[in-house]
Every structure is written in C-alpha cells, then in structure tokens.
Amino acid sequence: MRPPALRPQLKRDPLGRWRLTSMPLITRFFSFDDVTPAQGWDLLAWCRSRGASEFTLAALVAPKESQRMKDFFAVLDPYERPRASRRLLSAPVGGSFTRDVPLWQLTPETQELLRAGWSTGFASRQYDEDLWLEDLAVYRDGEFMMGVLSHENGGVLRITELELTDLRRTEFPDRDSVPWLGF
C-alpha cells in the first residue's frame, strides 16, 4: 500500500510561530453536470493561485489538423516546457497512467489563451471540431492537482483538507465520486 501523498503547509503553532508541516492530499471529484464553464475557469485560476504551474492537454485531429489548431498551439509555443513524466486520468489498455507528456507553463497569460481557444470550456462535453481540445491536467510541483477526463463527464482534484475547505467557500460542487473516474 502506498503512503498518502503529502503537501507541505505552513501553520502557526500555539505560540504563534510558523512551522512547516505536511498535510495529506485527498482525492475529490466533480461532474460536468454540476459545473458551469465559468466555474471550470474559476477552478483553474484557483489551482494556479495554490501553486499549480504547468498543464497538459489532448487535441483530437480529425481528419487533419486545422489552421485554428496550428494557430492555437503556435501561441502556446513560448510557454512550452520540456516533456516530462506526469500522472494522467487515462491509460492505454495494459499501460501506465504515468507517461511522458507535452507541458506548458500555467500563467495568467496561458489561462487566457486556453479560455480564448477552448470556447466551450474544459469542463464540458461539447467540442469544437475545428479545435478539439480535451483532458486538461494541471500539476503543482510536478504532481497531479486537477484534471478532467472529457468523455467521462468529470474531473479529479488532489488537494489538502484545508484547500478543500477553501474551495468549498467558492461554492464549487465537489463529489465523493463520479462514474468511470478514479485516481
């Protein structure tokens, strides 16, 4: 059995001194049925404000790469990071959930580029056939923090209890589970 993932946190002790502690990460889920596209973008901004610094996504090219697709990825070029091994929400049959993926920096600028290109929002089952983007995954310190599995109508969060309390103050609708999603 794997030990729970931990996230460093600064806390004040009873005397008011700051102490570095480790908080276990918990797994929460969300359904596209409960989340508006605006709430999805707010969630992405919330993750960024809590240390998320990179993302990956999938693009479906059918039957060939459109000019919009080429233009979208061209504007992301300055924010590209080296490919690296990261946890995803899907795996090939018999394959690993962790594999090398393309990565981009998550910044206010790239968040706006994603929003401009992803007209239906990432927390949606609607697709734009000319720029078919799906399966956004966001990472903090190289570890999975939030992601969606577009065709399964939902997403996963890996955050601390304190962060969950903070997120719930925004009225973000998390769940104990979503069918066909796990972590």
Is the distance from CB of 142 to CB of 158 less than 8 angstroms? no
Residue 39 has pLDDT above 60, yes or no: yes
* Residue among 138, 149, 132 at smallest CA distance from 104: 138
- Summarised one tens digit per residue, pLDDT across range 41-65 is 999 999 999 999 999 999 887 677 8
How open is the CA angle 166-169-170, to the nearest 5 degrees?
Answer: 105
- Summarised one tens digit per residue, pLDDT across range 145-181 is 999 998 899 999 999 999 999 999 999 999 999 988 8
Residue 77 has pLDDT above 90, yes or no: yes
Strand-pair partners of 182 = none
- Summarised one tens digit per residue, pLDDT across range 100-156 is 999 999 999 999 999 998 888 999 888 787 788 889 999 999 999 999 998 899 999
* Residue among 22, 40, 30 at smallest CA distance from 119: 40
**Which residues, in sequence order, are CB contacts of 161 under 8 Å at separation 6+?**
23, 24, 26
Is the distance from CB of 53 to CB of 105 less than 8 angstroms? yes
Length of the chain: 183
pLDDT for 49:
95
**What is the average pLDDT value for the chain, to the nearest integer?**
89
